[in-house]
Amino acid sequence: MPRFFHRLILLPVVLLLSACAVTSKDGWKAAVEVQTAQLGYRNWIVVAEASFPAHNKPGTRQVNAYESIPVVLDEVLRILEKTEHVRPRIYTPREMRSVENDFAPGIDEHRRVLDGALHGHVVTELDQDSLLTLVQDAQKSFDVLVIRTTTALPYSSVFLELQPGYWDGESEQRLRSEMQRKRMEKLASPTP
């Protein structure tokens, strides 16, 4: 086979691999905006600390952002707040609250800055192992976007589970209650 054909075959592979992990120091915001626009209900976004493991499962996308977690989280939430189709449920590792600055210099400042980057969203704390299990379970059927940051602090990753932006748990409960009420009425009424 001539060399031309080898190059022709390799070109799509190289392009695909380069799209999997964005490495441009200036392009991460645009990459996050494009990737986020493709996500919906039940997808996850992980704003990850520097040592977060790379995943090779189909449906997992990675963007390398050359900024700290608070800076990246602020940008991700800004992007999500412009959409109507999803809203984030935000989780942080419970362990982060207990990490002491003496053992992880900078963690106190990180927690302070992170609070501002949350845009007032309510945060749920879960053990990191539980969060990783939730993400791994989601990867079986849904896309996960991992945005790796420069933050080198333990238990500092932030996990966002995307929820419908136009339908919440209360609306779902009302719908289910109404459907159940109508079903019960139908069962109770005599059929002609």
Find the CATH number of the domain harbouring 56: 3.40.1650.10
In a domain, residue 191? The reply is no
Instruction: State how far the Cα of 16 lies from the Cα of 178, in Å rounded to an integer.
Output: 48
The string of pLDDT tens digits covering residues 99-146 is 999 999 999 999 999 999 999 999 999 999 999 999 999 999 999 999
Structural domain count of the chain: 1
Contacts of 160 (CB under 8 A, 6+ apart): 44, 45, 46, 47, 76, 80, 88, 89, 90, 91
Instruction: State how far the Cα of 74 lies from the Cα of 80, in Å rounded to an integer.
Output: 10
Range of the domain at 67: 21-186
In a domain, residue 14? The reply is no
Q: Tell which wins on pLDDT, 20 or 170.
A: 170
In a domain, residue 15? The reply is no
How would you classify the pairing of strands 44-48 and 144-148? parallel
Please name the amino acid found at residue 67. Answer: E
CA–chain centroid gap for 192, Å, is 53
In a domain, residue 192? The reply is no
Instruction: State how far the Cα of 67 lies from the Cα of 72, in Å rounded to an integer.
Output: 6
How many Cβ atoms are within 10 Å of 92's Cβ, its own excluded?
A: 22
How many Cβ atoms are within 10 Å of 78's Cβ, its own excluded?
A: 13
Per the CB < 8 A criterion, the answer to whether 100 and 53 are in contact is no
In a domain, residue 105? The reply is yes
The string of pLDDT tens digits covering residues 20-79 is 444 456 689 999 999 888 899 899 999 999 999 888 888 899 999 999 999 999 999 999
Please name the amino acid found at residue 37. Answer: A
Q: How distant, in Å, are the alpha carbons of 1, 43, 73, 147 from that of 120? A: 60, 21, 12, 21
In a domain, residue 127? The reply is yes
In a domain, residue 1? The reply is no
Decide if pLDDT at 8 tops 90. Answer: no
Q: Which of 52, 51, 68 shows the shortest CA–CA distance to 60?
A: 52
In a domain, residue 2? The reply is no
